[in-house]
Amino acid sequence: MQELIELGAITILVPGNLPIGCLPSYLTLFESLDKKDYDHSTGCLEWLNRFSEDHNEQLLAELKQIQKLYPHAKIIYADHYNAVMPLYHSPNQFGMFIFFSMLPCISILYNLVVLEMLKCC
């Protein structure tokens, strides 16, 4: 980013991390038999979401430091984590009930496809 600013960039948009503990691929890859690993209201893996939150906090702190070094630049942090979490907490409110209720099925289908692919190799 510093190189971009030194090359003349004035406005830079930096995306934060999504709540990866809610993504089907991560839910499948890190599936746990321990129900305590999951957020009871969203079904997301809590430890992965904490990882995303920690990453975003460190990223934001670094962006503030860079902003101090380059006060003429406009550094915009896009908080994807907090923008998306309401969809997981209240999917009905956003018309997403069917999609989110199907996530476990998507993960199961993903597992079956991977298993079938492994059998072929």
Q: Tokens in use for 21?
A: 């503990």
Backbone torsion region of residue 4, taken as left when φ is above 0, otherwise alpha when ψ lies between -120 and 50, otherwise beta: alpha
User: Which of these, 2, 14, 18, 119, lies nearest to 76 by C-alpha position?
Assistant: 14
What's the pTM value of the predicted model, to 2 decimals? 0.75
Determine the structural domain holding residue 9 and report its residue range: 2-120
Report how many domains make up the chain.
1
Cα 95 from Cα 101, distance rounded (Å): 11
Dihedrals φ, ψ of 90, to 5°? Answer: -140, 65
Structure confidence at residue 111 (pLDDT) = 38
Query: 3-state class of 108 per DSSP?
Result: helix
pLDDT tens digits along 31-88: 888 889 999 888 899 999 999 999 999 999 999 999 999 999 999 999 999 999 988 8
Q: Convert 44-89 into a string of H (helix), E (strand) and C (coil).
A: CEHHHHHHHHHHHHHHHHHHHHHHHHCCCCEEEEECHHHHHHHHHH
